[in-house]
A and B are shown apart, each in its own frame.
Chain A
C-alpha cells in the first residue's frame, strides 16, 4: 500500500512539474525573446531561431518556442538577404508542428497566414490569384479562433491595405481594422507582466496602418 502511495506521490510531483511554470524554460524563453527584439543581421536572426529550436526540442509539449522560431524566420526573410522562399517554407513547417501541440491556436493560424503572405509578396503577379484567398482565409480563421488577437486583425488590415492599393480603392476598411487592432493591443498590454512570454508584437505596424487614415 505504502508503495502505491509513493508512486502516486511520484506521479503527482511529475505532473505538477508540467503544470507549474518551469523557471528554466521561462527564463530561457525570456532571454531569447529579448534577443529576438534586438536582431540586426541575418546571423543574429539564425542564432535566435536556432536557440528557440533548442528550447522547443527540450520542451516537446510547448508550442511557444516553435512559434517564436517561425516568427524569427519570417521576420528574417522579410528583412535580410536570405533564401526567402526556403525560410518561409521552413517557418510554415514549424507552425504545423506547433499546431499539433496546440490545435486551433489563433496565434499560430495568424502566423501561418503571415508566412504565406511573405511567400505571396515574392511573386505577387503569379501567386496572388491562388494565395491571397488562402491568406485571407487564415487571417479570418485566426480572428474567429480568438477575437481578442490583435495580430490577426493587424495582419488582415495589412492585407486589405495591399489589396486596396493594388486596385486603387480607398484604405478606409484597412484603417478601421487597424483601429480595432490598436484597441485590442491596449487591452493586451494590461496582461503583460514580468513573466509574460506569449506573443505581444505588432503594435507598431497597427499604429502605422492607422496613421494612413489621418
Chain B
C-alpha cells in the first residue's frame, strides 16, 4: 500500500504545504554597479516575488520552504537563477549583477561606408518613403541615392557613380541576389533609370565602400535592395502619368500574397508638346510585366518569387560634330527578363538559413543606320548562406555562391559573333565580435575563382565601430575588393585578370532624435584597371595595366525636427581621383568624377493643403574632358552642373495621390562633356558639339489611385 501513502501526501501536501515565512532581501545592479529598477525577482513556480525599486533594491516574503530557485529577470538583460534555502527568518542575498544583452537596438553598428533606408532599424539615413518623394529622383531609386554623400550625378548617364568609380563598379542586389543589367539600356547620351520600382522594396542598404564580404564583384559600391514581405490586403493600384500608365493587382491571405503588375510608357506624346534638343526619330517607349509573390511556409520560413520581363526602345539621330546633316540613326531595341526566388528561415539555436537563385537576360539590338549589332548578356546566380549567432556577442556568416555568365555580341548581317562563358565560384565568411556594447569588430574573407581567366583570389576585409558618446560613434573599414572587367572588354581579351581596389574609410556618425550628422574620409587605390590602344568604340590590345586612386571627404546633415513639418538634408562630397585607364596615356581625372558635389533636399508638409512640397538642388563643379585643340588629356572642365527640382504631392483622400514635378526649373543648360570631330576642319580646328540634356526641363504629372475593398470597414458597417 505504498502507493496509497504517496497519494495521501500528494493530496495533502499539494494543498497545505506552506506554513513558514522567509523574507528575501537584496539588490540588483547593472554592469556599472548602478542600481537597476524594474527587475522581476521571484521564486520559480510560485507567485511570490517583487520588482526592484529605483535603487535596484528588493525585499519580499515567501511562504515557500526548503531549496527553491530564485529567478532574476529583466527584459534586455541576461536572466539569472540561483538556488536559495528558505527556512524562515530573513535571508540577505548578495548583490546580483545583470549583464545587458547586446541587441540590434542597443549595440553599436558599423556605419563606415554604409547608408541604410529602413523603417525598422536604427542608424538609418533615409526611410523607404524618402526615396519615392525626393524631387530630383522622379521615382527612381538611384536618382534618390544621388543626393547622398559619396555619389556624383552624371546627367547624360543616369547611373550611380560612387567616389571616383565608374558606374560598372556598383553591384546591385535584390534580396542578396545579383541583378544583371539593372539599368535600362540606352544610347546617345539619353540618361537611363533603374528598371525596378521603389515600391517593391521595404529597405535599401547602400554602401559607398568597405562593405561586407557577402558582396563581391564591385569595386566601389554595393546597393542591396530588400523586397517587401507579405502584403496584408487585396488591392489594386492604378497609375496614370504624363508619360504612361500602369496597373497592379495584389491578392493577399494570411499565409501568402501575390502582386501582378503591368506598365506602359511612351515619351512620344510628351515630346510632341515639349520640344527636345535631341533629334528623336522615335521617342523612348517600353512596357513591363512583373509578378511578385510571398509565402509563409509551415515551418516558419518565408519564400519569395520576383519575376519581370520588359521591352523597350528608341530611335535617335546622332549628329556628328561639325556636320550639317542629321548624322547616324541609332535604332535601339531592348528585351530584358529577370527572375529570382529565395527562401529564408530562422532556425533553432541561433541559425538563420538562406537560399536563392536568380537569372537575368538582356538582349540589345542596336542599328547604326544600316549596320545591325547585337549584344546578349545572361547572368545566373546561385547562393546559399547561413548566419549563426553563437551568443549575443559573436555571430558568424558563411556563404557559397556560383555565377554563370555568358556574353555574346555580333553583327548578324555578316554572321559574325564573339562570346565567352565564365563560371565563377565564391566562398565567404564574416565574423562579428562585440567586445562590449560599445565596441564591435568585424572580419571577413571572400575567396573567388573564375573559369574564363583561370584566376583565383582572396579578398580580406575588416571593420570596427566604437561608440564615443551616447549619440556619437566612430567606424573604420578597410579591405580589398576585386571585380572582373566588364563583359565588353572580356569578350575581346578573355584572360583579362581582376581589377582591384583597396579601401580605407573613417566614419563619424552622430544621431539624435530627428538629427543625423555624418562625416567620412576615404582613400581608395586602384590596380589592374583596363587600358587599351585605339578608341573607346574600338579598343585594341587590352591589358590590366591601369592604376589610380580616389580620396576625399564627405558630409551629410539631416534635420527632421527643428522646423515644423519640414525635413531637409544637405550633402557635400569632395573627391580627388586620378587614374590611368581606357585609352588615356597618363593619369587623369575621370570625366565621371567631379571634385565638388553638393546637394540639398527639402520637404515640407502643409497640412491644410494635404500636400507635401519638395525641392532639391544639386551642384557640382563640372566634368573633365579632353579638348584635342589643346595639348594633353582631360585638359578642360565643363561649366558646373546645377539642377533645381520641385515637386508637389497632394493627398486629397487616403487612397489617392496626385504628384507633379519639374526638374531643372531654372532651365540651366548643363553640359556633361563634348564630342569632337575625328579630324580637324580646314582651319585645323577639331569641331565640337556639347553633350547636354534632352530638354532643359522635365515635367511630370501622375495620379496614383489605390482601389481596395476595405473588408474590415465593410464588415463593421454590417455589424
* B232 touches which of A47, A126, A137, A139 (Cβ 8 Å): A137
Are B610 and A167 in contact, with the CB atoms below 8 A?
A: yes
Most buried by B among A3, A28, A54, A143: A54
Which B residues lie within 8 Å of A28 (CB)? Answer: 47
Are A144 and B37 in contact, with the CB atoms below 8 A?
A: no
Which B residues lie within 8 Å of A169 (CB)? Answer: 653
Are B44 and A57 in contact, with the CB atoms below 8 A?
A: yes
Which A residues lie within 8 Å of B48 (CB)? Answer: 54
B719 interface hit (Cβ, 8 Å): yes
Which one, B208-216, B319-327, B710-718, is touching chain A? Answer: B710-718
Which A residues lie within 8 Å of B11 (CB)? Answer: 13
Q: Which residues between 52 and 85 of chain A lie within 8 Å of chain B, taking CB atoms?
A: 53-55, 57-58, 85
Are B75 and A58 in contact, with the CB atoms below 8 A?
A: no
Q: How far is the CA of A43 from the CA of B24 in the complex (A)?
A: 20
* B4 touches which of A6, A53, A54, A166 (Cβ 8 Å): A6
B119 interface hit (Cβ, 8 Å): yes
Known: A13-B11, A43-B54, A126-B129. A58 touches B47 (CB 8 A): yes
Most buried by A among B45, B48, B119, B232: B232
Which chain B residue has the least Cβ–Cβ distance from A147?
B719
Known: A130-B202, A167-B651. A86 touches B76 (CB 8 A): yes
Are B75 and A156 in contact, with the CB atoms below 8 A?
A: no
Are B119 and A126 in contact, with the CB atoms below 8 A?
A: yes
Which A residues lie within 8 Å of B75 (CB)? Answer: 86, 90
Are B129 and A173 in contact, with the CB atoms below 8 A?
A: no
B246 interface hit (Cβ, 8 Å): no
Q: How far is the CA of A133 from the CA of B54 in the complex (A)?
A: 39
Q: How far is the CA of A58 from the CA of B232 in the complex (A)?
A: 36
Q: Which residues between 83 and 122 of chain B lie within 8 Å of chain A, taking CB atoms?
A: 105, 119
CB < 8 Å A-B pair total: 101
Which B residues lie within 8 Å of A102 (CB)? Answer: none
Q: How far is the CA of A144 from the CA of B83 in the complex (A)?
A: 47
- Contact residues on B (Cβ < 8 Å of other chain), bracket: 35 or more
Q: How far is the CA of A126 from the CA of B42 in the complex (A)?
A: 40
B127 interface hit (Cβ, 8 Å): yes
Most buried by A among B40, B710, B712, B719: B712
Are B233 and A50 in contact, with the CB atoms below 8 A?
A: no
Q: How far is the CA of A133 from the CA of B712 in the complex (A)?
A: 10
Shortest Cβ distance from residue A161 to the other chain B in the assembled complex, whole angstroms: 13
Are B3 and A3 in contact, with the CB atoms below 8 A?
A: yes
Q: How far is the CA of A166 from the CA of B610 in the complex (A)?
A: 9
Known: A6-B4, A46-B38, A54-B40. A137 touches B49 (CB 8 A): no
Are B119 and A137 in contact, with the CB atoms below 8 A?
A: no
Shortest Cβ distance from residue A193 to the other chain B in the assembled complex, whole angstroms: 23
Are B716 and A127 in contact, with the CB atoms below 8 A?
A: no
Are B654 and A163 in contact, with the CB atoms below 8 A?
A: yes
Which A residues lie within 8 Å of B49 (CB)? Answer: 50-51, 54
- Contact residues on A (Cβ < 8 Å of other chain), bracket: 35 or more
Q: How far is the CA of A55 from the CA of B73 in the complex (A)?
A: 14
Which B residues lie within 8 Å of A110 (CB)? Answer: none
* Bitwise interface map of B from 242 to 258 toward A, beta carbon under 8 Å scored 1, else 0: 00000000000000000
Q: How far is the CA of A123 from the CA of B542 in the complex (A)?
A: 54
Which B residues lie within 8 Å of A55 (CB)? Answer: 47
Are B127 and A139 in contact, with the CB atoms below 8 A?
A: no
Which A residues lie within 8 Å of B435 (CB)? Answer: none
A134 interface hit (Cβ, 8 Å): yes
Q: Which residues between 595 and 654 of chain B lie within 8 Å of chain A, taking CB atoms?
A: 605, 610, 651, 653-654
Which chain A residue has the least Cβ–Cβ distance from B605?
A125
Are A47 and B716 in contact, with the CB atoms below 8 A?
A: no
Which B residues lie within 8 Å of A20 (CB)? Answer: none
A153 interface hit (Cβ, 8 Å): yes
Which chain B residue has the least Cβ–Cβ distance from A130?
B119
Are B716 and A143 in contact, with the CB atoms below 8 A?
A: yes
Shortest Cβ distance from residue A168 to the other chain B in the assembled complex, whole angstroms: 7
Which chain A residue has the least Cβ–Cβ distance from B567?
A125
* Bitwise interface map of A from 127 to 148 toward B, beta carbon under 8 Å scored 1, else 0: 1011001101101100110010
B51 interface hit (Cβ, 8 Å): yes
Are B715 and A140 in contact, with the CB atoms below 8 A?
A: yes
Q: How far is the CA of A123 from the CA of B202 in the complex (A)?
A: 16
Q: Which residues between 26 and 54 of chain B lie within 8 Å of chain A, taking CB atoms?
A: 37-40, 42, 44-51, 53-54
Beyond A134-B232, A144-B715, 11 additional contacts (C-beta under 8 Å) are A6-B7, A43-B38, A43-B53, A46-B37, A58-B46, A125-B129, A125-B605, A126-B129, A129-B129, A133-B232, A143-B712
19 pairs from A and B in contact (CB 8 Å cutoff): A6-B3, A24-B47, A28-B47, A43-B37, A43-B51, A43-B54, A50-B39, A50-B49, A51-B49, A54-B42, A58-B47, A90-B75, A133-B233, A143-B712, A153-B719, A167-B610, A167-B651, A173-B713, A176-B717
